[in-house]
Chains A and B, each alone.
Chain A
Amino acid sequence: MSAERIATDVPARADIVVIGGGPAGLAAATEAARRGAAVVLLDEQPALGGQVYRAVEANRARGKTLDADYAEGGRLVDAFRASGALAIHEASVWLVEPDGTVGFSRAGAATLMKAERVIVATGAVERAMPIPGWTLPGVMTVGAAQILLKTAGLVPQGRVWIAGSGPLLRLYAVQALAAGGQLAGIIDTTPPGNRRAALRHMGGAMGALGELRKGLAWTQAIRQAGVPWITGAHDLRAEADDDGALGTISFTADGARRSEPADTLLLHNGVVPNVQITRALDIEHDWNQTQRAFRPRCDAWGSTSVPAVMIAGDGAGIVGAAASAIAGRLAALESLRALGRLDQAARDDAAAPLRRALARALAIRPFLDALFAPSPEYLVPAGETIVCRCEEVTASALRQAVSLGCLGPNQLKSFTRCGMGPCQGRICGLTVAEVIASARGASVADVGYYRLRFPIKPLTLGELAAVHAPADPTAPR
């Protein structure tokens, strides 16, 4: 099949359902479909590519390729389209059952689909950067601004500040400037000691010289554009104007407090695995102290404690787009083996070159993890800074709950309503764990994370009611 089938009638069954249309999901679906499996890819966005390759086809059609890395997304999408896999767009997955049943909503209607295998490729989300005033309209993430650039061609204009740390911050600045945008300045919160720590991993990173050069080129491009770059900034705050939107930012740099007018503040504090599905499935998660995030426990193929469910890409721990695509293919190969479509020897033969490529793609990771290790100041917010944006629960309220005997995130919900709003703890989960850990003097690993339950998306009661129910549903089991 040469063209993507248009999903009007959604099949009730599939060999493999892939959740997420980013590099891991595209590559997993392509690999499995090429080898003959019936594959359905569910994605929440209107077009393939995930966040990293967001709107890649539309931009390619307009001759806007951004850069070589982004163009790679176009090749992944082309391969997917040639593979025979079916893509269902604007599908919000709200349920994954251990037996491979996947529930999703599309255009206000809920559907259940049964798969033999589910490959979760839901990628990463930006780590929260809770500062005073971060809930004001006008304060967004760098990732959000990049999505505006990729999907709508919007560039920053006027008093737009970028603050935080991480590769995406630099990449976006370069892309925005190249597209004709203006930036008022970059407030770099990377702890100065990180550089030294990162140098220890320089040896490993030499295998990825291209990546290192790219980073240096980004930095140079930003400096050449004359964008002020403020390092070692502390105590960043966003303050409201008379309308209740962002009006000013302030921070301390070089020992002096500075205040600057701002109409947009873009924050970035690195990315962390999106664990909503794996947590709700009760898969064990481990704390990664280097990346300061939980990641679901899985083996080198992406297999988890739930036999029908595999994980690929950043959702299993941050590895970046190139490694995610390889991980997607590995998960597909193991899925095919589990389905009896591929014997073990064939799986291993196909995997051998992928594993070598994966090692190359991961060479720079320890260096990046060390260089962009988040500043403790923005992991554990102080005072009246809001932690839970939905329920407007402050850091001090969390600390008070801990002083009253609250030991972990789940108790905290009952104490404070923290994490009980529409985002279902997506934004505040890690911050809550960090704040409790710091207040208790415990490790984040011991404090743990929210217990999440399906549905992981806020479908309507009407949608749920329309899902098939058994004959005698109130009978005890």
Chain B
Amino acid sequence: MSAAGYDAIVIGGGLHGLSVALHLARRRKRVIVLERRYAGRHSSGINAGGVRRLGRDIREIALSVIAMEMWHSIESLVGDDCGFVAGGQVKVAESDADMAKLARREAEVRALGYDHEELVDQAELRRIVPAIAEHCVGALVSRTDGAADPYRTTTAFRRAAVAAGAEIREDDGVTGLERANDLWQVTCASGTIEAPAVVNCAGAWATRIAAMVGETIPCGVKASMMIVTERMPTFVEPTVGATSRSLSFKQTAAGTVVIGGGHQGRCDVAAERSVVDFGNLAHAARIATELFPVMRGVRIVRTWCGIEARTADEIPFIGPSAVAPGLFHSFGYSGHGFQLAPAAGAALAGLIATGSTNLPIAPFGVTRTSAAAVR
């Protein structure tokens, strides 16, 4: 018996879970989000906040383009601007070889019918990013990409979901999942609740949820580190990355610079703990200071590290379970799921509410990778 009468149960109170809940609630579905700790505890609340189409896996571009349209009117979706600023995204070429690589990429994306990626020369790069190192020869840019404030975004989605009628229960972890009489029975710390649909948005812990119904989904984890500096006057507008090296470099509204790029810390998934790896962090600092020499004397105020799921081919799983009817997955965003959240949530809500979606999630099926491919 479904006492509370839910239509769907979302497992995981990260940005993706909250987005699914928001879109389901807007479709007048009765939805509850179960969050083991608190909403935005892991990589949703702490990430670089990149809102980026630039450089995405070809299979992700269609969904990313739709998500970007949603970001440009994010306030109408969630009632808050989420700190989103369309300052652009820039991928810098440090050599002629880099430049050739970026030129091929631009051509490939244009051939698919997208024109958001644009190759620029050294003079234009300097105009957009005056502090860039002299050796940089050009860049691929996406001028209307940008960045948002991750925790503010997560909070805005949460509030909007609640305002639309979704229920969010924190400090309530899922321990069991069983199907009986076309209903899912979800056992959590506070008891058992039922609904015909369950959405697995449990991030680095999502494979454990899948395993509860006997579904094995090969997926690893990652713990990307970030460095945050002291506040400085505004000197860089876009988010800057590199072509042959891992970097994400962004100045926030507060004036701090957030430096990331997928440099890995060490994590203990079971203990939900991650620690900074100083060798890797030093490498991140070296790349940042080589691309922005002006940063050498700037002080590090904080570092952090967020745990999330990483698939073998670095694109997410979004769609129905391969083995269990009424179970849907949305995880494995591999360090770049923030931007996709508005669209992925809409796609899943459509799938659950109507059985189908027009949104381009076909590339993200859960059976596409094999266990052997997982890194």
What is A's interface to B at a CB cutoff of 8 Å? 95, 97, 103, 282, 405, 407, 411, 414-415, 417, 420-422, 424, 453-455, 458-462, 464-470, 473-477
Q: Determine if A414 and B296 form an interchain contact, defined as CB atoms under 8 angstroms apart.
A: no
Q: Determine if A467 and B282 form an interchain contact, defined as CB atoms under 8 angstroms apart.
A: yes
Q: Determine if A476 and B375 form an interchain contact, defined as CB atoms under 8 angstroms apart.
A: yes
What's the nearest-Cβ distance from chain A to residue B158, in Å? 9
B227 at the interface (CB under 8 A from A): yes
- Given contacts A411-B38, A470-B283, list 8 more A-B pairs with CB under 8 A: A414-B151, A415-B155, A420-B228, A420-B301, A459-B300, A461-B229, A465-B286, A477-B277
User: Given contacts A453-B276, A453-B302, are A464 and B281 in contact (CB under 8 A)?
Assistant: yes
Chain A contacts for B259, CB-based, 8 A: 461
B176 at the interface (CB under 8 A from A): no
List 19 contacting pairs A-B, 8 Å CB cutoff, sorted by A: A95-B278, A103-B278, A415-B155, A454-B303, A458-B300, A459-B300, A460-B298, A461-B229, A461-B285, A462-B285, A462-B295, A464-B285, A465-B285, A467-B278, A467-B282, A469-B279, A470-B280, A473-B263, A473-B282
What's the nearest-Cβ distance from chain B to residue A264, in Å? 28
Q: Within the complex, which residue of B155, B264, B275, B302 is in contact with A282, where a contact is CB–CB below 8 Å?
A: B275
Nearest first, the 4 closest Cβ-Cβ pairs linking A and B are A462-B296, A414-B151, A473-B283, A458-B299
CA distance A470 to B263 in the complex (A): 12
Q: Determine if A417 and B254 form an interchain contact, defined as CB atoms under 8 angstroms apart.
A: yes
Q: Determine if A421 and B278 form an interchain contact, defined as CB atoms under 8 angstroms apart.
A: no
Chain B contacts for A458, CB-based, 8 A: 230, 299-301
What's the nearest-Cβ distance from chain A to residue B374, in Å? 10
Chain B contacts for A95, CB-based, 8 A: 278
Chain B contacts for A414, CB-based, 8 A: 40, 45-46, 151, 155
B6 at the interface (CB under 8 A from A): no
User: Given contacts A465-B286, A473-B263, A474-B262, are A459 and B278 in contact (CB under 8 A)?
Assistant: no
CA distance A468 to B279 in the complex (A): 7
Chain A contacts for B375, CB-based, 8 A: 476
Chain A contacts for B102, CB-based, 8 A: none
Q: Determine if A421 and B301 form an interchain contact, defined as CB atoms under 8 angstroms apart.
A: yes
B363 at the interface (CB under 8 A from A): no
For chain B, residues 162 to 220, give those with C-beta under 8 angstroms from any C-beta of chain A: 170, 220
Q: Within the complex, which residue of A97, A411, A462 is in contact with B278, where a contact is CB–CB below 8 Å?
A: A97
What's the nearest-Cβ distance from chain B to residue A11, in Å? 19
Q: Determine if B229 and A422 form an interchain contact, defined as CB atoms under 8 angstroms apart.
A: no
Chain B contacts for A473, CB-based, 8 A: 263, 279-280, 282-284
Chain A contacts for B15, CB-based, 8 A: none
Most buried by B among A282, A411, A415, A473: A473
What's the nearest-Cβ distance from chain A to residue B268, in Å? 10
CA distance A467 to B45 in the complex (A): 29
Nearest chain-B residue to A452 (Cβ)?
B302
CA distance A422 to B281 in the complex (A): 19
Chain B contacts for A415, CB-based, 8 A: 151, 155
Q: Determine if B301 and A424 form an interchain contact, defined as CB atoms under 8 angstroms apart.
A: yes
Chain B contacts for A465, CB-based, 8 A: 282, 285-286, 288-290, 296
Chain B contacts for A466, CB-based, 8 A: 282
B52 at the interface (CB under 8 A from A): no
Q: Determine if A455 and B300 form an interchain contact, defined as CB atoms under 8 angstroms apart.
A: yes
CA distance A469 to B285 in the complex (A): 10
CA distance A415 to B158 in the complex (A): 13
Chain A contacts for B151, CB-based, 8 A: 414-415
Chain A contacts for B276, CB-based, 8 A: 453-454
Q: Within the complex, which residue of A407, A421, A453, A477 is in contact with B266, where a contact is CB–CB below 8 Å?
A: A477
Chain B: interface residue total (CB-CB under 8 A): 50
User: Given contacts A103-B278, A470-B279, A477-B264, are A462 and B297 in contact (CB under 8 A)?
Assistant: yes
CA distance A460 to B193 in the complex (A): 51
User: Given contacts A461-B288, A468-B279, A469-B279, are A453 and B305 in contact (CB under 8 A)?
Assistant: yes
CA distance A168 to B283 in the complex (A): 45
CA distance A55 to B246 in the complex (A): 47
Nearest chain-B residue to A413 (Cβ)?
B151
User: Given contacts A465-B282, A476-B222, are A424 and B264 in contact (CB under 8 A)?
Assistant: no
B310 at the interface (CB under 8 A from A): yes
Nearest chain-A residue to B46 (Cβ)?
A414
Chain B contacts for A455, CB-based, 8 A: 300, 303
Q: Determine if B301 and A464 form an interchain contact, defined as CB atoms under 8 angstroms apart.
A: no
Q: Determine if B296 and A454 form an interchain contact, defined as CB atoms under 8 angstroms apart.
A: no
CA distance A473 to B265 in the complex (A): 10
CA distance A469 to B227 in the complex (A): 16
Chain B contacts for A103, CB-based, 8 A: 278
Nearest chain-A residue to B262 (Cβ)?
A474
Chain B contacts for A405, CB-based, 8 A: 170
Q: Within the complex, which residue of A417, A453, A467 is in contact with B304, where a contact is CB–CB below 8 Å?
A: A453
Chain A contacts for B280, CB-based, 8 A: 469-470, 473-474
B28 at the interface (CB under 8 A from A): no
CA distance A94 to B283 in the complex (A): 17
Chain B contacts for A454, CB-based, 8 A: 276, 278, 303
Q: Determine if B296 and A461 form an interchain contact, defined as CB atoms under 8 angstroms apart.
A: yes
CA distance A103 to B64 in the complex (A): 42
B273 at the interface (CB under 8 A from A): yes
What's the nearest-Cβ distance from chain B to residue A434, in Å? 20
CA distance A346 to B88 in the complex (A): 67
Chain B contacts for A461, CB-based, 8 A: 227, 229, 259, 285, 288-289, 295-300
Chain B contacts for A470, CB-based, 8 A: 279-280, 283
What's the nearest-Cβ distance from chain B to residue A475, in Å? 7
User: Given contacts A459-B299, A460-B298, are A476 and B282 in contact (CB under 8 A)?
Assistant: no
Q: Determine if A282 and B273 form an interchain contact, defined as CB atoms under 8 angstroms apart.
A: yes
Nearest chain-A residue to B278 (Cβ)?
A95
Chain B contacts for A407, CB-based, 8 A: 38, 170
Q: Determine if A460 and B273 form an interchain contact, defined as CB atoms under 8 angstroms apart.
A: no
Most buried by A among B228, B263, B283: B283
User: Given contacts A417-B254, A464-B300, A477-B264, are A469 and B282 in contact (CB under 8 A)?
Assistant: yes
What's the nearest-Cβ distance from chain B to residue A401, in Å? 11
Q: Determine if B310 and A476 form an interchain contact, defined as CB atoms under 8 angstroms apart.
A: yes
What's the nearest-Cβ distance from chain B to residue A379, in Å? 25
Most buried by B among A103, A415, A455: A455
CA distance A464 to B302 in the complex (A): 13
Chain A contacts for B230, CB-based, 8 A: 422, 458
User: What 0/1 pattern do residues 308 to 328 of B give for CB contact below 8 A with A?
Assistant: 001000000000000000000
CA distance A381 to B161 in the complex (A): 34
Q: Determine if A460 and B279 form an interchain contact, defined as CB atoms under 8 angstroms apart.
A: no
CA distance A282 to B275 in the complex (A): 9
What's the nearest-Cβ distance from chain B to residue A119, in Å? 21
Q: Within the complex, which residue of B228, B229, B264 is in contact with A476, where a contact is CB–CB below 8 Å?
A: B264
Q: Within the complex, which residue of B220, B266, B284, B302 is in contact with A420, where a contact is CB–CB below 8 Å?
A: B302
What's the nearest-Cβ distance from chain B to residue A108, in Å? 9
CA distance A16 to B278 in the complex (A): 21
User: Given contacts A414-B45, A422-B230, A454-B276, are A474 and B263 in contact (CB under 8 A)?
Assistant: yes
CA distance A462 to B266 in the complex (A): 23
Chain A contacts for B297, CB-based, 8 A: 460-462
Most buried by A among B40, B230, B263, B300: B300
What's the nearest-Cβ distance from chain A to residue B106, in Å? 24
CA distance A475 to B265 in the complex (A): 10
CA distance A465 to B300 in the complex (A): 11
User: Given contacts A417-B254, A453-B304, A476-B310, are A462 and B289 in contact (CB under 8 A)?
Assistant: yes
What's the nearest-Cβ distance from chain B to residue A372, in Å? 33
